[in-house]
Structure formats: structure tokens, C-alpha cells
Chain A
Amino acid sequence: MKVLALFALLLVGVHGGSVCENAAVEATGFTTLDATIVSKVAYVSEFTLTCSNSAKDISLYAETSSGIASVARSLDGIKYQVSWLSDGASASSGEQDIKLFDEQGYSALKKAQRSGESTASVQPIARISMYHPGTYRGPWVQSETIAVLASLAIFYYAFKQKSLITE
């Protein structure tokens, strides 16, 4: 029994349990920049999480603009990645705020959602700000429309000149 308790304490000491204290995040973001042939915009955020109590391999959840998503983590427990999709027509450019929650925070979040309370009261362990410059959906006016209009304009000028000569 004492051996088991000692083993459990050792595990907690090594992994720091599932609680990350004073979390610090370093993040890199990727977003869809060209939506000419796709209908969804993808957001991907890769980050490393550093805890003051050296906690690693923590189960994390992210609250994004499209809802709550689970965060994938690397085998060594150091790198994390969260990704989600947004509709191309409604995706806006600018800063995307991502709130990170651990198990406890996620439970509190779900509880608040079920009871209809505001989720703003649940404090995340960390926040990531990801900048999305916007997605290119094609030119405002198609190039063939410009070509047709330009050729018509040039022909109109030629026609007017001919009318002046032949009148």
C-alpha cells in the first residue's frame, strides 16, 4: 500500500498531474489564404505549452470561433495542435482568439453551457491570438469581362472615326 502511494506521488511529481500552473504559450498559426476553389477556410495553430510546475502531456481543449475543439498533442507531450474549419463566406479577417482549457476548465465550460450561463466566467489556462489576413476569393470583375468591354470600347472608337470619314 505504501509502495502504491509512493508510486502515485512519484507520478504526480514527474508529470505534474493534469493541472498546468502559470501556462506560457508559444504559437504558430496557418490559415487558408486562397479560397478560389474551396468553400471552407482552415485554421491551424501549433503551439508549445510551458507550465511553471513542469506539467506535460496535458489534455487540452480550445474554444474557437467555430466552437470547442479538442487539441492534439505530440508523442513527447511538448507540442500541441488545434485545427478547425470555418465557412468561406462568413470567415472574417483579423485576430482569432483561441482560449485553451484543461480538463477542469472544459468541465466547467460544459456545465456553464448546459445551464445556460455565460462562458466568459470560465477562465482559460492560456490564450492564443492568431492573425488571419483574409482569404482571396477571386477578382471583383472577371478578366474576360474586362477583355470584352475593352474590345467593344476600341471597336466603338473605330466605328465613330469611320462614321466621321464616311459622312
Chain B
Amino acid sequence: MGKSTKFTKEEELLLEDFSRNISKKTSLMFYLNAFFVSAVPIWLYIRIHMMELISSSPLFVVVTGASTYLLAFAYKNSKFVLKHKVAQKVEESVTKAVLKQLGDKKKAGKSEKDERVLWKKNEVADSEATTFALFYNNAMFLMLVVVGSCLMFRSFSPFYNYFFSIMVAAGVTALLSTSGSK
């Protein structure tokens, strides 16, 4: 006698809520954003530190690639942590809004209402957490790049300045994103 492994809609929503998995669309957005933010400091090093674009292109490609991966990793981790916190904050207001919307439909049962609230809460929390994860990690990464290139590694040659500034900034951002919520 085999047990059915099919989940109900509510269980699926709960699984999605507590899962670290992200959709392909979100993943693509994270990687594109990480690539763009990792590539921005190249302009800084070409114009201010007078690095040559063509001769330094292998370094730029390798470091940008590594930084893109680390930043996307940081976005994913931050989003997971923030999503639950945001969901707790918006639960009350989302519940009110959904119940108000469903208020006219008196035929809607309690389970349907709970399902709608859960789905809406998940959607809002997902969106808010994604946006804030991008903002927070970008701010941290760019701050570390500016501090690294202008202060910590300013006496290094542009080659090593770029390498250490970007790798340290991306590494620290990824590392701090793995810390759990307090």
C-alpha cells in the first residue's frame, strides 16, 4: 500500500516559502545584476588608475566572472533570510487586504482564504526580499570596492589593486550573506 506523494496547494506554497530555491527568472535577474555591478569598477580603474582595457582584459574577465558568481550567491542567501522577516512584517496588512478583497465572496471557505493569504504573503515577501537583497548587497560591495581601492590597497599597482579590491569586496559580501538572522 503506497502513500500518495502528491502535495496539496497549501503544502506546495509552504514548501516554496521555506525553500532556498529560486525561479529561473529570479536567478537570471540575480546573475545579470551581479555581472553589471561587478563590471562597473572596470570603468573606475580605466579612468582613474589608468589601466589599459585591452591589455588588462584577461584580468577583468576572470575577476568579473568570479565576482559575478560570489555576488549572485550573496543575493540568493540574503533573499532567503530577508523573505521570512519581511513575511512576518507584512502578514497582518496582507491578511487584511486579502480578506477585504474576498469579503464580497461569501462562498469562499476558510481554507481558500488561508490559501490566498499565504500565496499573497509569499508573493509580497518574495518581491520585497529580492529588491532589498539586491540593494543591500550592491551597497556593501561597492562600498568595499571604493574603500579598498582608495584606502587599503592604494599603494599597490593598479593590477593588484583591482584584483584584491574586487575579490575582497565580493568575498566579504558573500561571506556576510551566509550569516543567519539574529
Are chains A and B native binding partners rather than an unrelated pairing?
yes
Q: Does B1 contact A (CB under 8 A)?
A: no
A162 to B137, CA, bound (A): 11
Contact indicator A151/B86 (Cβ below 8 Å): no
Contact indicator A165/B85 (Cβ below 8 Å): yes
Q: A157-B139, A158-B139 are in contact. List 6 more A-B contacts (CB 8 A).
A: A144-B150, A147-B146, A148-B151, A165-B85, A165-B89, A166-B181
Contacts of B85 in A (CB 8 A): 165-166
Q: Does A9 contact B (CB under 8 A)?
A: no
A-B CB proximity, top 10 nearest: A151-B143, A158-B139, A155-B143, A144-B150, A151-B146, A155-B139, A158-B136, A166-B181, A166-B85, A165-B85
Q: Does B147 contact A (CB under 8 A)?
A: yes
Q: Does A3 contact B (CB under 8 A)?
A: no
Contacts of A165 in B (CB 8 A): 82, 85-86, 89, 132
Nearest B residue to A153, CB-CB: B143
Contacts of A151 in B (CB 8 A): 139, 142-143, 146-147
Q: Does B32 contact A (CB under 8 A)?
A: no
Q: Does B140 contact A (CB under 8 A)?
A: yes
Over the window 136-167 of chain A, the binary record of Cβ atoms lying under 8 Å from chain B Cβ atoms (1 yes, 0 no) is 00000000110110011011011101100110
Residue positions of A touching B, CB distance < 8 A: 144-145, 147-148, 151-152, 154-155, 157-159, 161-162, 165-166
Contact indicator A162/B136 (Cβ below 8 Å): yes
CB proximity of B134 to chain A, nearest CB, Å? 11
CB proximity of A141 to chain B, nearest CB, Å? 13
Nearest A residue to B147, CB-CB: A148
Nearest B residue to A142, CB-CB: B150
| Residue of A144, A145, A155, A161 touching B132 (CB-CB under 8 A) | A161
Q: How many positions in chain B have a CB within 8 Å of any CB in the partner chain?
A: 18
Over the window 108-128 of chain B, the binary record of Cβ atoms lying under 8 Å from chain A Cβ atoms (1 yes, 0 no) is 000000000000000000000
CB proximity of A152 to chain B, nearest CB, Å? 6
Nearest B residue to A147, CB-CB: B146
Contacts of A166 in B (CB 8 A): 81-82, 85, 181-182
Nearest A residue to B44, CB-CB: A147
Contacts of A159 in B (CB 8 A): 136
A11 to B21, CA, bound (A): 104
Q: Does B160 contact A (CB under 8 A)?
A: no
CB proximity of B97 to chain A, nearest CB, Å? 20
A152 to B148, CA, bound (A): 12
Contacts of A162 in B (CB 8 A): 82, 132, 136
A155 to B137, CA, bound (A): 9
Contact indicator B135/A148 (Cβ below 8 Å): no
Over the window 51-90 of chain B, the binary record of Cβ atoms lying under 8 Å from chain A Cβ atoms (1 yes, 0 no) is 0000000000000000000000000000001100110010
CB proximity of A34 to chain B, nearest CB, Å? 20
Contacts of A145 in B (CB 8 A): 150
CB proximity of A75 to chain B, nearest CB, Å? 45
| Residue of B135, B146, B147, B151 touching A158 (CB-CB under 8 A) | B135
CB proximity of A7 to chain B, nearest CB, Å? 68
Would you give 7 A-B contacts (Cβ < 8 Å), ordered by A? A145-B150, A151-B147, A154-B142, A161-B132, A161-B136, A162-B82, A166-B81
Nearest A residue to B84, CB-CB: A166
